[in-house]
Amino acid sequence: MAVDLLLGLQWGDEGKGKIVDVLTSKYDIIARFQGGPNAGHTLEFDGIKHVLRTIPSGIFHKDSINIIGNGVVIDPVVFMKEIEGLEQFKIDFVNRLLISRKAHLILPTHRLLDAASEAAKGKAKIGSTLKGIGPTYMDKTGRNGLRVGDIELEDFEQRYRTLADKHESMIQFHDVDMQYNLPELEEEFFQAVKELQKLTFIDSEEYLNRALKEGKTILAEGAQGSLLDIDFGTYPFVTSSNTTAAGACTGLGIAPNRVQEVFGIFKAYTTRVGSGPFPTELHDEVGATMASVGREFGSVTGRARRCGWLDLVALKYAVEVNGVTELYMMKADVLSGFETLKVCTKYTYKGETINYLPYNIEPENVEPIYEEIKGWNADLTGMTSYDQLPTELKAYIQFIENYLDVPVKVVSVGPDRKQTIIK
């Protein structure tokens, strides 16, 4: 059987967690392939709200297997807290949550290094979630990292010490004022590592390829969004992994020809948390309304998300880089009540009109060109079928489909599992 991918097409927080949860009953296995606890995937059902960080969003469905792939970075401390938070649901973590031995470990000193590096950058900071993501992937590509499988080695503590000592000297190099108690952080880390060992470690590429041969279905769950991709995002204001479709192949050990559908998730408008260029950002009341109606606060850091109009030029780029086959439009309900909606269809770039995402998209180089579309004023949150949606919203969707040349298959009208309209 094949693998389907589910990816965020903007700067993250598109609503991936909600949709994975909605789709899980159709799949045997849900697998995370990159990122780590910088992610915050929200699921809502039966009046309860959950935010998952490293655990795949299929975990609430009793029959699904959830895999953390080799491309993910795991912080044992955050991870064990996440598990504790789910204890009330009596989830079988040992048999249903499997972790790749090749996934890299986030050490306490990776988190400290992240903070030191950001502090040293001053105004040029990335706006990182400070979860140690960048330093951990640096150690991975620098071939110094520790992996989940290393926990099973006799000299794990010694390997840990060597790396942590190196990190300490790197923290000093940044020469910033930072207070921390490393022995305390290490005690917490080793306690969490001990707990982590109660879970099942696997060779996930072997497991997944065997599952495919046995006819099982897999949904790969992306974290972050395409514009935060280390290669294709708004570098250097990106995360440190490949968030795009190719990342699912390297982050799970699945060959490209096994990939079937690519589901691209996007908000009906655009948000971004952290620093970096954002051509359609609004600094006015319209942006503030999107933020308050859409409750645009980061699920991990609580930071306010920046808001703006839908950017179809950037979305088209993401559709192409990922090979998106179906679009899922989220948070349509948040746009209700605006008389006119704007959609960016071109940019003015260094005085010329262009319809692609150029190398420099900073405000001094790029200005969005908008088309206006009539808005709608209806409460969508109780609607259950496509026919019920206002004509203007259907026209908005049609406009997007025409521009991107990919069908919108799902329209989300609220955070709950049930507020999902299949077209």
Residue ranges that bind ligand GDP, judged by CB under 6 A: 8, 12-18, 40-42, 44, 294, 299, 330-331, 333-334, 412-415
Selection from Mg ion, ligand GDP, ligand IMO, none that 273 binds (CB < 5 to 8 A by kind) is: ligand IMO
Q: Which residue's CB is nearer to ligand IMO, number 297 or number 386?
A: 297
Q: Is 284 a catalytic residue?
A: no
Cα–Cα distances (Å) from 331 to 209, 227, 270, 290, 374, in that order, read: 35, 19, 10, 10, 17
Q: Does 72 bind ligand IMO (CB under 6 A)?
A: no
CA distances from 388 to 328, 336, 381, 392 (A): 18, 14, 11, 12
Q: Give which of 222, 250, 208, 269 is closest to 17, Cα–Cα.
A: 222
Rounded to an integer, what distance in angstroms lies between the CA atom of residue 328 and that of residue 373? 20
The stretch near ligand IMO (CB under 6 A) out of 31-39, 202-210, 336-344, 412-420 is: 31-39
By CB under 6 A, residue 133 contacts ligand IMO: yes
- Show contacts with Mg ion in window 296-325 (CB under 5 A): 299
Q: Of these residues, 13, 21, 75, 114, which one is catalytic?
A: 13
Contact status: 43 vs ligand IMO (CB under 6 A): no
Contacts of 266 (CB under 8 A, 6+ apart): 8, 9, 10, 14, 310, 315, 318, 327, 328, 329, 330
Q: Is residue 167 annotated as a catalytic residue, yes or no?
A: no
What is the rounded distance in angstroms from the CA atom of residue 130 to the CA atom of residue 114? 6
Nearer to Mg ion, 64 or 271 (CB): 271
Site residues for ligand IMO, window 249-288 (CB under 6 A)? 273-274
Task: Determine how β-strand 352-354 pairs with β-strand 340-349.
Answer: antiparallel
CB nearer ligand IMO, residue 239 or residue 336: 239
Query: Which CB atom, from 16 or from 102, has the smaller least distance to ligand GDP?
Result: 16
For helices 133-141 and 108-121, what crossing angle results, to 10°?
A: 110
Which residues here bind ligand IMO, judged by CB under 6 A?
8, 11-13, 35, 38-41, 126-129, 131, 133-134, 223-225, 228, 239, 273-274
Positions annotated as catalytic residues are 13, 41, 140
